[in-house]
Structure 1
Amino acid sequence: MDQLECLKKHTIVVVDSGDIDCIKKYRPNDATTNPTLILKSVLSKKYDYIINNAVQYAQKNGGSRLKKIQNACDMTAVGFGIEILKYIPGYISTEIDARLSFDKDLCIKRAIKIIQLYKDNGIDSSRVLIKLAATWECIQAAYELKKLGILCNLTLLFSFSQARACADAGVFLISPFIGRIYDWYQKFNDNSNYCVATDPGIVAFKKIFFYYKKYSYSTIIMGASFRTLEQVLELVGCDRLTISPDILEQIKISKYKIIKKLDSCQVSITNVKPTPILESEFRFLHNEDAMATEKLSEGIRQFSSDQMKLELFFSDKL
């Protein structure tokens, strides 16, 4: 048994990739994608059959040129999801256009469309998580979508206030971005005395983990955006870990002993939950966290940029 199989005994392993060959290789339980990963797979020219199907779908459904491009992009994301689901037993996370991150109603509308595309291709909604940025608007969209039976993965999560709001809304799953938190602090600190236990990303994740377990929130906590093998190993035992292919390979061949570091038994559980966070409080506390404010904005810009590159790709195709 290699170390990756040992890790799977303590934590549900998720692959962060749009590369179907990678999914086959590492046999995760779930998989996550985003506009950046989808764009990378599209440009690799390995999956022309998914792209051609998306173009055919867009042309068949007609509408304006802009509508066709949007339909092609949505069908591409779903197409990769459909293919990935052939090789995993669990969920595929499919992200909607990040430019909708501040419009609750448009997020709901696009999420319903994505789920319908999966259903039209024989995939039940119980296999799909809609990825949304953890803005106040998206958190409220996730709350409404859950009433419709659509579950969400709230991504680009950096602040404790984001985590609190997600728990209050009963969001299905959150993805705190350990590596991007680490990146921000590394701009101001020398890495020579690095200790994984005091890594700001790890500290932020553990604060959320123990808060959720103390108050028995049902929201799943999935560590994401890892930079090093050490960061992954420090969170063994959490609900889920979504890991890039390069770090998965490091785990597979590593000699490190896989030890369970996180356990809900480490906290005293209380049945009285905190007062739900108000929108004004959420916005103030998130704004007070310079790292979280900057990284959330940066993440939305990055995913939006890659979404627009994908649209340019299909503009030529159509």
Structure 2
Amino acid sequence: MNTLDQLREHSIVVADTADFHAIELFKPIDATTNPSLILKQAQSPVTAGLIKKTQEGLDSGRFESAAGAALDLSVRFGVEIANRIEGYVSTEVDARLSFNTERSIEQAHMIIEKYQEHGIGRDRILIKLASTWEGIQAARVIESEGIGCNLTLLFCEAQAVAAANAGATLISPFVGRIYDWFVTRGDLPRSTDEDPGVLSVRNILNLYKSHTVATIVMGASFRTAEQVLALAGCDRLTISPALLEELGSRDQSVAPISITEPTGQTIETLTRDEFFLALCADQMANEKLADGITRFVQDQETLEALLSG
């Protein structure tokens, strides 16, 4: 049994891609997309038909704006993906709405409606939102309506606690971007077990399990196969096609991490002020959250420019 198949025995494997071929090849349970992945795939010849149809819709006035066309395209990608997997597809709310709770909720409703027009029910979709205070409060409302959310760009415990308080279906704590932040400052871990990104996800996973939090923990943003394997046993792991291929070519054994037993205690409740104080005190989390939103906004705008022709 190869390493990828062994990993599947301990964690649900999710494909972090909008590449239809990769999804067919690796047969993940779920798939995650984001503005960067949509942009990358929109530039592929394989999706030229979808891009042309979206551009024609924009030219004919079917979409009010390039932003509306980009949202429709994201859903069309999601529909194609949903038809190739059994589980969830995560589709992201416009990153420019990361600090606007009301508009994030409105766009989440639009995303669900568009999926339903293509015959994909809300039970198959996770609405991705940045783990800002406003994004988390949007998730609270959306979850109360029976729509699942995936809180992304999550870099610290305060974000994880607030997400649990909101009843989020799933969180995506990042590994690689945390690792990058420390490495650029000369703090290279001696081993994967000392990798700050790996340790962050392990700590959040144990926090949730010890307090019996139902929210799914899905490790994300991996740089190496070793980082992935260091989180075997995490609820879900969303992995790029390149790393899925590498894991599939290996034959090393996979051992799950040890997970804390429930303590019977409930997780603390964070107020808005406590959330912001904790985020401000964590330089890495504060910088990476801002950087992540900025990068997604840039890719969103590049996609809109591509569609505008």
| TM-score grouping bracket, smaller chain normalisation | over 0.9
Runs of 4+ in 1 over 2 A off after TM superposition: 52-63
- Identify the residue that residue 245 of structure 2 maps to in structure 1: 249
Give the CA deviation at 1:10: 1.0
SS of 2:172 mapped into structure 1: strand
Q: 1:260 to 1:268 in 2, by over 3 A?
A: closer
Tell me the alpha carbon deviations over residues 128-182 of structure 1, each in whole angstroms, 9 at most, x when there is no partner: 1011100000000000001111111000000110001001111110000100000
Give ranges in structure 2 of 5+ residues lacking alignment: none
What aligned pairs does 1:207-218 form with structure 2 within 5 A after superposition? 207-218=203-214
Give the CA deviation at 1:87: 1.3
- Identify the residue that residue 120 of structure 1 maps to in structure 2: 117
How many pairs align? 309
Alignment of 1:311 with 2:304, yes or no, is: yes
SS of 1:216 mapped into structure 2: coil
- Identify the residue that residue 226 of structure 2 maps to in structure 1: 230
Q: 1:47 to 1:262 in 2, by over 3 A?
A: farther
Contact 2:2–2:252 (Cα < 8 Å) also in 1 = no
Q: Distance in 2 between matches of 1:170 and 1:147?
A: 8
Contact 2:161–2:268 (Cα < 8 Å) also in 1 = no
Tell me the alpha carbon deviations over residues 224-277 of structure 1, each in whole angstroms, 9 at most, x when there is no partner: 0001111111110110000011111110011321111244xxx23233313310
Q: Distance in 2 between matches of 1:62 and 1:145?
A: 27
The normalised TM-score by structure 1 is: 0.94
What aligned pairs does 1:42-53 form with structure 2 within 5 A after superposition? 42-53=42-53
Q: Distance in 2 between matches of 1:163 and 1:259?
A: 25
SS of 2:45 mapped into structure 1: coil
Q: 1:101 aligns with which of 84, 98, 102?
A: 98
Q: Distance in 1 between matches of 2:29 and 2:91?
A: 15
Alignment of 1:80 with 2:77, yes or no, is: yes
Give the CA deviation at 1:5: 1.5
For the aligned residues, what is the CA RMSD? 1.4
Q: Distance in 1 between matches of 2:105 and 2:60?
A: 24
Q: Tell me which amino acid in the other structure corresponds to 2:122.
A: S
What aligned pairs does 1:263-282 form with structure 2 within 5 A after superposition? 263=259, 267-282=260-275
SS of 1:142 mapped into structure 2: helix
Contact 1:57–1:75 (Cα < 8 Å) also in 2 = no
Alignment of 1:286 with 2:279, yes or no, is: yes
Contact 1:34–1:95 (Cα < 8 Å) also in 2 = yes
SS of 1:47 mapped into structure 2: helix
- Identify the residue that residue 180 of structure 1 maps to in structure 2: 177
Q: Tell me which amino acid in the other structure corresponds to 1:238.
A: C
Tell me the alpha carbon deviations over residues 11-51 of structure 1, each in whole angstroms, 9 at most, x when there is no partner: 10001001100101100000000000000001112112222
Give the CA deviation at 1:4: 1.3
Contact 1:59–1:68 (Cα < 8 Å) also in 2 = no
The normalised TM-score by structure 2 is: 0.96
Identity across the alignment (%): 44
- Identify the residue that residue 133 of structure 2 maps to in structure 1: 136
Q: Tell me which amino acid in the other structure corresponds to 2:251.
A: K
